[in-house]
């Protein structure tokens, strides 16, 4: 046992030394790891996978995708620790829960690994963990913009269908929307769960119990797709004011047929693609943009659907 | 050993090799060797075997070990507990509610949480024993009940599902440090100074080693394995556990308090889940409603890889610990080996199947059972 331990220690020293050099070098063997908080079942992240694959091809770097299979954030912390232990040139990660993830991310930064926060997190948190920048959509502001728009269209009350109730950052969208409308969030946010049938039934139940609801806000394809079915079945499609965050094939079809008024595109492709570009150019030439990058919000309405339709679910 | 003068003629003679082979942990030992050989070959230079890498898969394995010990003893006693994962989420949330929202001293919060969770364990056991229903169904109900509370309570109290600030609230608390502290820090600092292990190269922890101690989580795992092993193999109670799981009716005739044994084992499983939860919230500083999802199956998988029988009456704590080690090493090792992450479950399924087939085959071969 003792000799095995010694061997491991020796191995560790041997293995660590060449990696230390490589991490600071300008070699063409750049490796980045993207760690997401999404469970395997969340199809939205497919765009992210396509984004890093394309960036990797174009720039000649290796980008790996890792996620906790069940979406358990404590497991995600272990994956970030694991990613740091494998000494990549950079880590791109979400900051879905600051308490859980800040420790592992800080440790990675302090080991000399460059980190970019994407998708979830705030500019302040990004600065605090010592990451290079934040690439994503400021969620509260996006919700606020949507709320103001909806108020202009005459909306007074709404229901927010939240399929990721444990993600505090995503809930900010509902808060922003409520503030934009100038109403109290109160009980307007429902915990819909991840299962499509469950989501559909919860929405139906809510709208039946609260028939005076003016608008529906869904927070992504996971909650939007079943909600589309629900409003169609209830015969209020096109009648109720329906807005959604993020895009997907079903959402695009629904925007086209008038069921959904608008989709807010946070352009996940950019959240995956740009960090790789930034990291690769930083490692190769030492150049770095001076600010955080806002990948969204962009409103997608029935008027501008051509490119969106072509690439929905793939790059949009 | 067996050929001493005081041989009992009623005990069948058995060679010591054969005796060594019929141990339930054999499959686990073979699996551990195989898994380490595999990753030494394919992921040797990936950082998996530097000090951070070793700590990474050790912590993950230790997590599995803690819940596997409880699940193992319960499974040997002939019952399942599917509420382990929900119990982990629930226990973490209770600590957050008591310690942060109600601002109780952390040691009281921890003790009250242990009491509540062990009571739920006892309730599981009581219902199973009194109604004779399969524990699979009873604990499936507990799975939903506890998960429901874990989402409902924080949403009602705080209108969010993640409650943070536990680390700050636990600062300097004597009981919290038993779960959240790290030991042997100076040893790692010394190794860092000597250049044996890597140190932080920037930031306000510059010069500190990248691994600054052994988390109490690992100490708990090792302690639970040792205690579980001693109880199971060296005490009368251990024999009762085997008897209760092997043939409950025969055990009752022989005077074994089967009901008491089973309820105690349900309580012990709940205890293990709570230990897991407390270590987790102390390390990460927040409790979330989605913590511990599917952990009950991971515990059962570790136990089964370790050679225990799903039908009860056969198994070993050391085997379960090895099963947990295999599980942890494979899970993290696949990341190190750069295996496409969506294939993780495929590998997991294949390894589980191989382990069970290997175990069954070895057991049949050796014991001669059909």
- Contact call for A112 and B201, based on CB within 8 A: yes
- Contact call for A15 and B291, based on CB within 8 A: no
pLDDT (0 to 100) of residue A281: 94
CB neighbourhood size of B254 (10 A) = 12
Distance in Å, alpha carbon of B244 to nearest chain A alpha carbon: 35
pLDDT (0 to 100) of residue A23: 41
Mutate one of B33, B144, B288 to test the A interface: name it (highest A CB count within 10 A).
B288
Mean pLDDT of B339-348: 77
* Least trusted range by pLDDT, from B136-140, B155-159, B332-336: B155-159
In chain A (316 residues long), the average pLDDT of successive 10-residue segments reads 49 44 54 91 83 94 90 90 92 91 93 93 90 91 91 91 78 89 84 83 87 90 89 87 87 89 90 95 92 88 82 78
pLDDT digits (tens, 9 = 90+) for B103-152: 999 999 999 999 999 999 999 999 999 999 999 999 999 999 999 999 88
CB neighbourhood size of A108 (10 A) = 28
Contacts of B47 in chain A (CB under 8 A): 15-16, 19, 85-87
Task: Extract the tokens encoding B41.
Answer: 């070959």
pLDDT (0 to 100) of residue A313: 73
Identify whether the C-beta of residue B238 lies closer than 8 Å to the C-beta of residue B232: yes
pLDDT band at B199 (very low <50, low <70, confident <90, very high): confident
- Contact call for A110 and B294, based on CB within 8 A: no
pLDDT digits (tens, 9 = 90+) for A56-87: 999 999 999 999 888 888 899 999 999 999 99
Residue carrying structure tokens 């909306």: A155
pLDDT (0 to 100) of residue A26: 44
Report whether pLDDT(B239) > 70. Answer: yes
- Contact call for B53 and A66, based on CB within 8 A: no
Compute the distance between CA of residue B354 and CA of residue B357 in angstroms, rounded to an integer.
5
Nearest chain A alpha carbon to B289: A166
Residues 6+ apart with CB under 8 A from A153: A241, A261
pLDDT digits (tens, 9 = 90+) for B251-268: 999 999 999 999 999 999
Asked if A74 has any chain B CB less than 8 Å from its own CB, the reply is: yes
pLDDT digits (tens, 9 = 90+) for B15-61: 777 666 667 777 788 889 988 998 998 888 888 888 888 998 999 99
Q: What is the pTM of this model?
A: 0.81
Q: What is the DSSP string of chain A?
A: -HHHHHHHHHHHHHHHHHHHHHHHS--S--EEEEE----TT-GGGHHHHHHHHHHHHHHT-EEEEE--TT--HHHHHHHHHHHHHT--SEEEE--S-HHHHHHHHHHHHHTT-EEEEESSS-HHHHHHHT-S-EEE--HHHHHHHHHHHHHHTT---EEEEES-TT-HHHHHHHHHHHHHHTS--TT-EEE--S-HHHHHHHHHHHHHH-TT--EEEE-SHHHHHHHHHHHHHHT-TTTSEEEEES--HHHHHHHHTTS-SEEEE--HHHHHHHHHHHHHHHHHH----SS-EE---EEE-TTS-HHHHHHTTTT-
- Contact call for B286 and A99, based on CB within 8 A: yes
First-to-last C-alpha distance (Å) of chain B:
29
Compute the distance between CA of residue B259 and CA of residue B279 in angstroms, rounded to an integer.
30
pLDDT (0 to 100) of residue A20: 40
pLDDT (0 to 100) of residue B7: 66
Report whether pLDDT(B97) > 90. Answer: yes
Is residue B273 helix, strand or coil? helix
Compute the distance between CA of residue B133 and CA of residue B136 in angstroms, rounded to an integer.
8
pLDDT band at B1 (very low <50, low <70, confident <90, very high): very low
Contacts of B67 in chain A (CB under 8 A): none
pLDDT digits (tens, 9 = 90+) for B176-193: 989 988 888 888 888 888
Size of interface A-B (CB pairs under 8 A): 143
Compute the distance between CA of residue A116 and CA of residue A135 in angstroms, rounded to an integer.
8
pLDDT (0 to 100) of residue A13: 47
Mutate one of A49, A74, A120 to test the B interface: name it (highest B CB count within 10 A).
A74
């Amino acid at each position: 046992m003792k000799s095995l331990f010694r061997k491991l220690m020796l191995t560790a020293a041997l293995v660590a030394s060449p990696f230390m050099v490589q991490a600071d070098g300008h070699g063409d063997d750049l490796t980045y790891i993207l760690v997401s908080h999404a469970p395997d079942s969340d199809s939205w992240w497919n765009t992210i996978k396509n984004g890093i694959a394309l960036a990797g091809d174009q720039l000649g770097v290796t980008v790996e995708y890792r996620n906790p299979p069940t979406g358990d954030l404590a497991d995600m912390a272990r994956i970030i620790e694991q990613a740091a232990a494998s000494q990549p040139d950079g880590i791109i990660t979400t900051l879905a829960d600051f308490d859980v993830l800040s420790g592992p991310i800080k440790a990675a930064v302090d080991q000399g690994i460059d980190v970019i926060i994407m998708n979830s997190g705030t500019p302040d948190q990004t600065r605090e963990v010592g990451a290079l920048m934040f690439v994503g959509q400021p969620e509260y502001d996006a919700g606020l913009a949507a709320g103001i728009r909806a108020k202009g269209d005459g909306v007074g009350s709404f229901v927010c269908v939240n399929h990721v109730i444990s993600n505090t950052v995503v809930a900010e969208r509902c808060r922003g929307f409520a503030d934009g409308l100038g109403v109290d969030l109160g009980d307007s946010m429902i915990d819909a769960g991840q299962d499509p049938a469950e989501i559909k039934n919860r929405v139906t139940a809510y709208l039946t119990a609260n028939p005076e609801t003016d608008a529906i806000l869904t927070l992504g394809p996971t909650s939007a797709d079943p909600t589309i079915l629900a409003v169609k079945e209830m015969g209020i499609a096109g009648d109720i004011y329906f807005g959604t965050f993020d895009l997907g094939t079903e959402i695009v079809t629904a925007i086209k047929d008038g069921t959904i008024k608008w989709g807010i595109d946070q352009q996940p492709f950019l959240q995956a693609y740009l960090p790789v570009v930034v990291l690769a150019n930083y490692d190769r030439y030492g150049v770095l943009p001076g600010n955080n990058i806002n990948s969204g919000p962009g409103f997608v309405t029935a008027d501008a659907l051509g490119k969106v339709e072509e690439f929905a679910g793939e790059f949009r | 050993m067996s050929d001493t003068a005081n041989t009992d003629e009623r005990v069948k003679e058995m060679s010591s090799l054969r005796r060594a082979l019929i141990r339930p942990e054999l499959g686990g030992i073979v699996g551990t060797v195989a898994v380490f050989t595999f990753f030494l070959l394919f992921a040797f230079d990936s950082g998996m075997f530097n000090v951070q890498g070793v700590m990474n898969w050790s912590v993950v394995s230790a997590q599995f070990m803690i819940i596997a010990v409880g699940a193992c003893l319960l499974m040997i006693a002939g019952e399942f507990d599917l509420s382990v994962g929900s119990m982990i989420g629930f226990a973490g949330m209770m600590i957050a509610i008591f310690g942060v929202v109600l601002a109780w001293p952390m040691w009281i919060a921890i003790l009250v949480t242990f009491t509540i969770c062990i009571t739920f364990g006892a309730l599981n056991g009581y219902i199973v024993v009194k109604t004779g229903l399969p524990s699979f169904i009873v604990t499936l109900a507990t799975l939903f009940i506890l998960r429901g509370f874990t989402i409902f309570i924080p949403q009602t109290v705080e209108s969010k599902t993640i409650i943070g600030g536990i680390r700050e609230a636990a600062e300097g608390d004597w009981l919290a440090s038993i779960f959240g502290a790290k030991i042997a820090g100076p040893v790692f600092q010394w190794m860092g100074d000597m250049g044996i292990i890597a140190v932080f190269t920037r930031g306000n922890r510059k010069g500190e080693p990248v691994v600054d101690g052994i988390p109490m989580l690992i100490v708990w795992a090792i302690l639970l394995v040792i205690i579980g092993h001693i109880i199971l193999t060296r005490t009368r109670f251990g024999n009762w556990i085997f008897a209760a799981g092997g043939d409950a009716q025969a055990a009752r005739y022989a005077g074994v308090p089967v009901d008491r044994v089973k309820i105690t084992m349900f309580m012990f499983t709940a205890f293990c889940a709570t230990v897991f939860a407390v270590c987790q919230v102390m390390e990460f500083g927040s409790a979330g409603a989605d913590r511990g999802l599917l952990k009950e199956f991971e515990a059962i998988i570790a136990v089964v890889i370790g050679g225990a029988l799903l039908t009860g009456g056969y198994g070993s704590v050391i085997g379960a610990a090895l099963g947990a080690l295999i599980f942890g090493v494979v899970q993290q090792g696949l990341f190190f080996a750069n295996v496409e992450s969506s294939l993780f479950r495929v590998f997991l399924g294949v390894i589980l199947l191989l382990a069970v087939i290997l175990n069954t085959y070895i057991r049949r071969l050796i014991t001669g059972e059909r």
